[in-house]
Amino acid sequence: MDVKIEESWKDILKDEFSKPYFQQIVLHLKTERSQGKTIYPPGPLIFNAFNTTPFAKVKVVILGQDPYHGPGQAHGLCFSVQNGVPPPPSLVNIFKELHDDIGIKMPGHGNLTHWAQQGVFLLNASLTVRAGEPMSHAKIGWAEFTDTVIKKISQLKEHVVFMLWGKFAQEKRVLIDDTKHLVLRSVHPSPLSASGGFFGCKHFSKANAYLVNNGTDPVDWSL
């Protein structure tokens, strides 16, 4: 498979695409498609986070677990849904915290492309999922790929804000050099846990303060 991925990322990750584990990912996806399985997001959107946020622009990383598994939801940006799709509960809670933190009113949609275009890299640890089966592609090799992505950002950039929400995301902290980046941690924004520390975490204002202090434009979090 010729990976359709933005040129700066293609260059930084070029060694990964020829490795056996990545070939196995490709084979796995082709096999499932040949069996008539539906995979989200659609092929052209698998690398949407990379294509919308070139490497040089990355200033905030938000890490999700895997894509939404319902029809029309996933479009390659973690926590984001396509226009016309109601924001899922975790995203609604993100918007609530945004409002409480910096006063941004609740948007009428859940498409986070505007964030991605400003340098908010919305990365899922798994880039694909089978329809209706959360975490179904968690063990096909994507973790090795996205762990490398996180390490490359940590190694090759400075003063990036990493937002790690929930236990799964926080386990990636070992990949990040926190002497030159800001690592913000909280519980996951899902309804099951948000009241245990996500609400009130003020990650959005903290991220902008850090970016400004290090000579980088803040993120306009409005949508």
DSSP three-state, residue 175:
helix
Using H for helix, E for strand and C for coil, what is the string for 114-132? HHHHCCEEEEECCCCEECC
* 175 Cα distance to chain centroid: 15
For the question of residue 66 being annotated catalytic, the response is yes
> Which listed residue (66, 101, 177, 217) is catalytic?
66
Strands 39-40 and 129-130: antiparallel
The whole-angstrom separation of Cα 5 and Cα 10 is 6
The whole-angstrom separation of Cα 42 and Cα 121 is 19
Q: Looking only at Cα atoms, what is the longest distance across the chain?
A: 52
Which residues participate in catalysis according to the annotation?
Answer: 66
